[in-house]
């Protein structure tokens, strides 16, 4: 890093620290009133990261590379609140996608409707971790970004047919993992001698 680059990095750090000193507590209070308690710290961290990256865009911070005085909260906070609002919206969308993924996969696994035994989605994350990296990426693109196989193929460099095959196999693996975690569906035992869905013995 050149001397000029070092100076620029130092100026950015000084400007960010001056801004963070003023806005962190108000942003924390803002999020406490709007976010789930377990989201607040993560969303605040993401907000501060955006402010770091966009420090030059913050209105009211002043033109000086290194602020000579504390920024005026009334000047900088509205824009920072807007950043926090956007980060919170992103977090909520991500949570909805996780819930959608869980619902779609547990439907495949025939998990009983209304099952809430895994509110933190621990079983889902554990099942995803068992997949190969590329299979996991295909599943996430399908479930989170809601891409069809043709679009997933563009992202991964696979053919659309290869994506379809991987997706089908990965969903089956996840369904099997989740079914083991959540237990058999009542009335759907398929082992020999057990009840089937119509109440008859499988013998």
Q: Which of 73, 70, 128, 69 is nearest to 97 (CA)?
A: 128
pTM higher than 0.75 for the full model?
no
The tens digit of pLDDT for each residue in 122-176 reads 777 788 888 888 888 888 878 876 778 988 888 889 999 999 999 999 988 888 8
- With respect to residue 119, please indicate whether it lies within any of the assigned structural domains: yes
More confidently predicted of 5 and 26: 26
Q: Pick from 65, 62, 27, 29: which is nearest to 46 by CA?
A: 27
pLDDT 10s digits, 48-79: 999 999 998 998 886 666 656 788 998 999 99
Please identify, among 62, 94, 126, the residue that sits at the C-terminal boundary of a domain. 94
Q: Is there a single domain that holds both residue 114 and residue 90?
A: no
Q: Does one domain contain both 170 and 121?
A: yes
Q: How far is CA 4 from the centre of its chain?
A: 37
Residue 22 and residue 70 in one domain: yes
Do 82 and 148 belong to one domain? no
What is the per-residue burial (b if ≥16 Cβ within 10 Å, else e) of 78-116?
Answer: ebbbebbeebbeebeeeeeeeeebbeebbeebebeeeee
């Amino acid at each position: 890093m050149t001397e000029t680059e070092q100076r620029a990095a130092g100026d950015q750090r000084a400007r960010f620290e001056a801004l963070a000193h003023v806005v962190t507590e108000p942003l924390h209070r803002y999020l406490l009133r709007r976010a789930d308690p377990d989201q607040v710290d993560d969303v605040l961290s993401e907000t501060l990261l955006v402010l770091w990256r966009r420090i030059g865009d913050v209105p009211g911070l002043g033109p000086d590379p290194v602020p000579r005085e504390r920024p005026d909260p009334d000047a900088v906070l509205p824009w920072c609140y807007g950043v926090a609002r956007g980060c919170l919206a992103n977090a909520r969308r991500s949570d909805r996608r996780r819930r959608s993924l869980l619902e779609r996969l547990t439907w495949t696994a025939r998990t009983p409707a209304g099952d809430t035994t895994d509110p933190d989605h621990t079983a889902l994350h554990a099942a995803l971790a068992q997949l190969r990296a590329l299979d996991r990426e295909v599943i996430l693109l399908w479930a989170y970004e809601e891409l069809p196989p043709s679009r997933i193929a563009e992202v991964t460099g696979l053919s659309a047919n290869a994506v379809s095959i991987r997706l089908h196999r990965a969903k089956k693996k996840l369904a099997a993992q989740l079914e083991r975690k959540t237990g058999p569906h009542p009335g759907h035992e398929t082992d020999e001698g057990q009840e089937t869905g119509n109440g008859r013995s499988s013998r």
